[in-house]
Amino acid sequence: MERTPAMPLIGEKLPSFEVQTTKGRIKLPDHYKGKWFVLFSHPADFTPVCTTEFVAFQRRYEEFKELNCELIGLSIDQVFSHIKWVEWIREKLGVKIEFPIIADDTGRVACALGMIHPSKGANTVRAVFIVDPEGVVRAIMYYPQELGRNIDEILRAVRALQISDREGVAMPANWPNNELIGDKVIIPPATDEQTAKERVKKYECFDWWFCYKSL
């Protein structure tokens, strides 16, 4: 099925953008080649919910970096506003924001990535794009302006995607605290009868199509 060019979907390459950030000009996704990164938009600088999110992202920044994952924020504010807001957060809250923030004052990047939803106003909603080391979009999340994100869930998603890639497995709901199998992971379903018979002998299974193992 053909699709009109629009925002990238899961499994597609993130479009190439040259952007102005609080750390200088960079080109995405090339700047992070070989690394995972989380590109997230916020509605506006100097707003309460966004401030709590930036503090929460920064508090977990080292955990993201341990996963070879960088953070980069975005809003349609100018870079001068970003710089002043970051200064305010450091001076008033004692938190130094170490990751860059894109100043998308023309809205070019936000529009291309579907971050502006007209029924929710002219500012960006709270979008999240998780991008892998090859520049491929692996997960997309959207939240309205009135709902702050759960940063631990974004961190969990990055960790889970990396394990899925490395082990060739799927991750259950609420992993690593799933109600049925705890911190175990799901084996992809068999695609032929012989493999289906072997699966139930090799792994723990509820049935041949639902087998799981420990990492």
pLDDT at 63: 98
Q: Which domain holds residue 205?
A: 168-215
Residue type, 215: L
Q: How many folded domains does the chain comprise? A: 2
Cα distances (Å, whole numbers) of residue 86 to 50, 127, 168:
12, 20, 40
Same-domain pairing of 89 and 187: no
Q: Does residue 175 contact residue 160 with C-beta atoms inside 8 Å? A: yes
Question: Parallel, antiparallel, or unpaired for β 36-41 and 69-75?
Answer: parallel
Q: What is the value of pTM for the model shown?
A: 0.94
5, part of any domain: no
E strand intervals along the chain:
17-21, 24-28, 36-41, 69-75, 101-103, 126-131, 137-143, 185-187, 204-207, 210-213
Residue 137 φ then ψ, to 5°? -75, 125
Q: Positive or negative CA dihedral for 97, 102, 106, 112?
A: negative
Q: Could you tell me if 199 and 123 lie in one domain?
A: no
**What tokens appear for 81 in the block?**
């506003």
- pLDDT score at 106: 93
Same domain, residue pair 142 and 176: no
CA distances from 118 to 115, 122, 123 (A): 10, 6, 8
Q: Which of 50, 69, 205, 211 is catalytic?
A: 50
CA distances, 40 to each of 3, 44, 159, 188, 199 (Å): 25, 12, 17, 30, 40
Are 41 and 98 in a shared domain?
yes
Residue that terminates a domain, selected from 149, 183, 199: 149
Whether residue 145 lies inside any domain: the answer is yes
Identify the pLDDT of residue 4.
40
Q: What pLDDT does 189 receive?
A: 87
Q: Please say if 69 is a catalytic residue.
A: no
* pLDDT for residue 3: 38
Angle at 158 between CA 43 and CA 126, to 5 degrees: 10
Alpha-carbon torsion 60, 62, 66, 68, what sign?
positive
Q: Give Cβ neighbours of residue 169 (< 8 Å, ≥ 6 apart).
A: 163, 185, 186, 187, 188, 213
Residuewise pLDDT in 10s, the chain (215 residues): 333 446 899 999 999 999 999 999 999 999 999 999 999 999 999 999 999 999 999 999 999 999 999 999 999 999 999 999 999 999 999 999 999 999 999 999 999 999 999 998 889 999 999 999 999 999 999 999 999 999 999 999 999 999 999 999 999 999 999 999 999 999 998 899 999 999 999 999 999 999 999 99
State both tokens at 38.
């989380």
For residue 215, the number of C-alpha atoms closer than 13 Å in the C-beta half-sphere is 17
Q: Are residues 67 and 96 in the same domain?
A: yes
